[in-house]
Amino acid sequence: MIRLLQAVLGGLLTGGVYALIGAGLSLIFGVLRVINFAQGELVMLGMYLTWLLFTFLHLDPFVSLIVVMPVLWMLGWALEALLLDRMHGALPQNQILLTMGLGLVLSNGAMMAFTSDYRLVSTTYSSSSFMLAGVALSQPLAVSFVLTAAIATALWVFLARTDTGMAIRATAQDRDAAQLMGIDVRRMSRLAFGIGAALAGAAGALIAPTYYIFPQVGGSFTLKAFVVVVLGGLGSVVGAMLGGLIIGITESLSATYISTELKDVCVYSLFLIVLIARPGGLLGKAE
Amino acid sequence: MLALLLAAAIKIGVINSVTGPEAPIGENMSHGYALAVEDLKAKGIEVELITEDDAGKPQTAMGGLEKLVTRDGVAGIVGPYTSASSNAAARLAERSKIPLLIPAASKDEITKQKYKWVFRTSAVVSWYAQVLFDAAAKFGKPKSVFIVHENTDFGTSAARGATEIAKQMKLEVLGTEAYSAGSPDFRPTLSKVKAANPDLVLFVSYVADAILLMRQSRELGLKPMAFLGGGAGFTTSQFASEKTISEGVLSSTQWTEDVSWPGAGAWGARYKKKFGKTATYHAACAYESLLIMGEVAAKAAGDHEKIRAALHDGQWNGILGEVKFADFDGFTNQNKHQMLVVQIKNGDFVTVFPEEFAKGKAVWPFPGFK
Amino acid sequence: MLRVESLSFAYGDAQVLDSVSLEVGKGEIVALVGANGAGKTTLLRTVSRLVKPVSGKVTLDGEDFSRLRAHEVVRRGLIHVPEGRRIFPEMTVRENLRLGSFTTRTDRERNLEKAFALFPVLLAREGQLGGTLSGGEQQMLALARGLMANPRLLLLDEPSLGLAPIIVKQIFETIVAINQQGISILLVEQNVYQSLHIAQRAYVLERGRVVLQGEGKALLENPDVKKAFLGA
């Protein structure tokens, strides 16, 4: 029982980070209709920024969110304005090449700037835990989960309740109709890409104390985010959140009860089963 | 004319993980190669090093080897780093009849295939566990072990070797868990370990996962008699510098700076001065391997068959101790390298086993995390 | 107030609009009729700047549109209610209306009251997702959403398409009612009889060209119009 609880809680905490990365990817896809294959590299940038702030300014990684998110937001905004904006309406394969290329530039740029050494953000609490009903809960993961929940709630309130948030959703649902409402859809694209990048950066800052940082770290996050987003339904932010938690818990349960080695097999099997049953993903529409 | 021939640099190929996830170790090896080129030059041997990057991938390593042989016409090749790449490159080297000296890859099978053209400087991975279990048996009376390893060639073959040796030594293997590198969450695996409550925990992993495994072991409150690290990730200075989690961990290694092999200490100091980092066993193995290949190739004037014969018959004594490529226990052209056990004390590696090389006394059993 | 001068548009080699000129005066209902593929929808999309013309000029009260983007046109009081309603299916009725007032936030509450007064059925459905409404309700939502932006000129594209006759009648009555509030209307319709009936003036578009124009009621009597559109 303790083991089950340990597995579910542990998976939930890890899944929270996947949820954040996935939500950003989904938001970007919804508004721009572009799959951002550089999403993991944005996470990587968030991690390096956190590491820099921690190493040189001794800023706590969780506090560094207040720097990392705006910086990544601006970067996302600029990338959209300079690169993706020009690609609007281009062939999908060209857009994919653009974001993939962007990812390569970012990871190789990071290699030039930071070398390929592994970087660590070793805080005093990096390996601390507290006991909850007999379950050892990682302290940094628990804090990161709380912050993830806060960011997710803020995102939801923004998208559901504010005029700008609604304008972003409107742009995702019908770009032409949104323009006829007086919405500047190019600005919304920039905003969405900025928010997606900020979410990726936040995820990077949140995992920095428990993970390690190297230039190629983004690749696995891009793949995972893609699985999370397709599982939840492309373009659905809530779906991506749900997908992230499901993937996290599946990983944890299968590692606990089947085998660590078969963890990914279990995750992708679940992924396939869901897609066969619901081709549009859990909260998506089948097209 | 003769002077020209003598002055012409001898071409030696290097295959290394310059990029990719293993790049940090590849970088250490590059440093080792650089020092070897310097020392060869001091001996009057001009070496032209041609490096191919395999990014840790076997396919790329094979392509690199092919290029070095056909395009560059190298005298011999040193590398690659990872076991997977080395195993693939070895097969191709044998077919191409090119001398290949593998410096630090440790999968047993690589030199167990009766290859004539493939040589290895470093110890094989099953000896990693052997020396650790030997040390443990000397320090205490462990009865059981749990093995957690990376599901790569290196990790799997280390785990297989460890299981066999454990059986021979009457250590009960309570479980073996493989994981894929780069996973952020080892907690499910480690809670299995905790439930099994073994005397020894053996981890076999590359650089960064070693840190995560120990961090999460601390989170979950694991307290075995000893944490054993099977080389690689547990022997980096970065791991050692994480003092809250590294203190007291025992690890097998191929080389340490404080070992009494000829020139090891001075070489380590020179390395640190030049590159600003502590030398690792990877760097030492790379250095010694290229030194041997360079000398032999120069003497044989680049003739492949002569180089092969010279490697097979020669004997060296340097910073890795005695090196001799011998045939024994099913191995071919394998150096019977002496493994060492180090313990991390306050961020530093101290050689604690075997006794003739020990520089300090082991802390036993593991006192628990701070 | 709206002047369209020699407007041309092409998709590649296919000429869709060939030097079309028309005008809508203040307070007018002007109908634009023609067969499928005559270029009516494209004309509206060009006027509201969703697409850019190859040549020609559009002005509203003398202001040239050629440098404006679609969302900027909205702020000038020209509101395009597109073909197929194009409501936001995954948003509630109220959210759709709120988006309609994206540029007129200060008048939001007042406009909302007016919209619900004009279409009481929307008030009853205000929490329902747009995609779950019937065709007629969706059309009413599209009209109401357009009214939220304080329009001076409404471009209506096929508001009666696919609706039951009783609903069509209701929609046309509503258009007249909207016009009586002083809002000019450019109406594109396949229902030629009804639209010529309520329009002061009308243009007939054929393969991208204006082939006939005149007063609505006069065109109803025109033998060519009768033959082509009214099945007589």
- Cα B8 to Cα B19, B76, B301, distances in angstroms: 30, 16, 10
* C-beta of residue B50 within 8 angstroms of C-beta of residue B74: yes
Encoded amino acid at A153, one letter: T
**Is B362 inside any structural domain?**
no
* C-beta of residue A18 within 8 angstroms of C-beta of residue A229: no
Residues B226 and B201 placed together within one structural domain of the fold: yes
**Is B306 inside any structural domain?**
yes
- φ and ψ of C6, to 5 deg: 45, 50
Quick one: pLDDT at residue B305?
A: 95
3-state secondary structure A15-46: HHHHHHHHHHHHHHHHHHCCCCCCHHHHHHHH
Which of C50, C145, C149 comes nearest A179 by C-beta?
A: C50
| Min Cα–Cα distance to chain A from C214, Å | 29
**Is B364 inside any structural domain?**
no
Cα–Cα distance, A99 to A200 (Å, whole number) = 15
- List of E strands, chain C: 2-11, 14-24, 29-34, 55-60, 63-64, 78-81, 153-157, 184-189, 201-206, 209-215
- Give SS3 for C173: helix
**What DSSP letter does each residue of A57-92 carry, written as one string?**
H---TTTTHHHHHHHHHHHHHHHHHHTGGGGTTS-H
- Cα B9 to Cα B15, B29, B98, B269, distances in angstroms: 19, 22, 18, 28
Which chain B residues contact residue A43 at CB under 8 A?
Answer: none
Cα angle A140, A143, A147 (rounded to 5 degrees) comes to 135
Quick one: pLDDT at residue B158?
A: 87
Residues B84 and B118 placed together within one structural domain of the fold: yes
Which chain A residues contact residue B212 at CB under 8 A?
Answer: 210-212
Quick one: pLDDT at residue A287?
A: 45
Residue whose structure tokens are 């409550």: B197
Domain range holding B346?
A: 126-253+340-357
Query: Low-confidence residues of chain B, pLDDT below 50?
Result: 1-5
Residues B134 and B229 placed together within one structural domain of the fold: yes
Residues B211 and B350 placed together within one structural domain of the fold: yes
**What burial class does residue A97 get, using C-beta atoms within 10 Å of its C-beta: 0-12 exposed, 13-18 middle, 19+ buried?**
middle
* C-beta of residue C212 within 8 angstroms of C-beta of residue C219: yes
Quick one: pLDDT at residue A281?
A: 85
Chain A residues with CB under 8 Å of a chain C CB are 163, 166-167, 169-170, 173-174, 176-185
Residues B131 and B119 placed together within one structural domain of the fold: no
- Cα A44 to Cα A146, A237, B91, B347, distances in angstroms: 21, 21, 37, 28
**Is B226 inside any structural domain?**
yes
Residues B151 and B11 placed together within one structural domain of the fold: no
Cα–Cα distance, A31 to A92 (Å, whole number) = 14
Quick one: pLDDT at residue A71?
A: 98
Residues B13 and B109 placed together within one structural domain of the fold: yes
Which chains, if any, share at least 3 CB pairs under 8 A with chain A?
B, C
Cα radius of gyration rounded to whole Å, chain A: 19
Encoded amino acid at B263, one letter: G
Q: What is the domain partition of chain C in residue ranges?
A: 1-77+154-159+187-232
Quick one: pLDDT at residue A133?
A: 77
Q: What is the per-residue burial (b if ≥16 Cβ within 10 Å, else e) of B163-202?
A: bebbeeeebebbebbbbbbbbbbbbbbbbbbbeeebbbbb
Residues B10 and B43 placed together within one structural domain of the fold: yes
Q: Tell if the CB–CB gap between C87 and A177 is shorter than 8 Å.
A: yes
Count: domains in chain B: 2
What interhelical angle do B264-275 and B281-299 show, nearest 10? 110
Mutation target to probe the A interface, by most A beta carbons within 10 A, among B152, B205, B219 is B219
Pick from A210, A220, A43, A211: nearest CA to A137: A210
Q: Tell if the CB–CB gap between B242 and A216 is shorter than 8 Å.
A: no
Q: Tell if the CB–CB gap between A3 and B20 is shorter than 8 Å.
A: no
Cα–Cα distance, B259 to B271 (Å, whole number) = 15
State both tokens at A31: 């508004």
**Is B369 inside any structural domain?**
no
Query: Closest chain C residue to A164 measured between Cα atoms?
Result: C102
Residues B185 and B276 placed together within one structural domain of the fold: no
Residues in chain C: 232
- φ and ψ of A228, to 5 deg: -60, -45
Encoded amino acid at A146, one letter: V
Which chain C residues contact residue A180 at CB under 8 A?
Answer: 48, 50, 70, 74, 79-82, 86
The DSSP letter of residue B165 is H
**What DSSP letter does each residue of B61-90 carry, written as one string?**
HHHHHHHHHHTT--SEEE---SHHHHHHHH
Residues B103 and B216 placed together within one structural domain of the fold: no
B339 contact partners, CB below 8 Å, separation of at least 6? B123, B127, B128, B130, B131, B252, B253, B254
Residues B78 and B187 placed together within one structural domain of the fold: no
At least 3 CB pairs under 8 A between chains C and A: yes
**pLDDT 10s digit of each residue in chain A, 287 long?**
778 888 888 899 889 999 999 999 999 999 999 999 999 999 999 999 999 999 999 999 999 999 999 999 999 999 999 999 988 878 888 888 999 999 999 999 998 999 877 888 988 888 888 888 778 888 998 999 999 999 999 999 999 999 999 999 999 999 999 999 999 999 999 999 999 999 999 999 999 998 989 998 999 899 999 999 999 988 889 999 999 999 999 999 998 888 888 888 999 999 999 989 988 888 876 44
ipTM of the complex: 0.94
* C-beta of residue A180 within 8 angstroms of C-beta of residue C85: no
Pick from C207, C50, C81, C229: nearest CA to C144: C81
CATH number at B57 reads 3.40.50.2300
Pick from A185, A170, A209, A206: nearest CA to A68: A206
Residue whose structure tokens are 């899944």: A15
Residue whose structure tokens are 């066999």: B164
**Is B94 inside any structural domain?**
yes
Query: Closest chain A residue to B220 measured between Cα atoms?
Result: A136
pLDDT for B253-279, tens place per residue? 999 888 889 999 999 999 999 999 889
| Min Cα–Cα distance to chain A from B215, Å | 5
Q: Tell if the CB–CB gap between C71 and A170 is shorter than 8 Å.
A: no
Mean pLDDT, contiguous 10-residue spans, chain C (232 residues): 95 91 96 91 96 95 94 96 94 96 95 94 95 94 96 96 92 95 94 92 94 91 84 62
Residues B172 and B295 placed together within one structural domain of the fold: no
**What DSSP letter does each residue of B201-249 carry, written as one string?**
EEEE--HHHHHHHHHHHHHHT---SEEEE-SGGGGSHHHHH-HHHHTT-
Quick one: pLDDT at residue B3?
A: 45
State both tokens at A250: 């599946």
Q: Which CATH class is domain C1-77+154-159+187-232?
A: alpha beta
**Is B181 inside any structural domain?**
yes
Q: Tell if the CB–CB gap between A169 and C90 is shorter than 8 Å.
A: yes
Query: Closest chain C residue to A285 measured between Cα atoms?
Result: C90
The DSSP letter of residue B363 is P
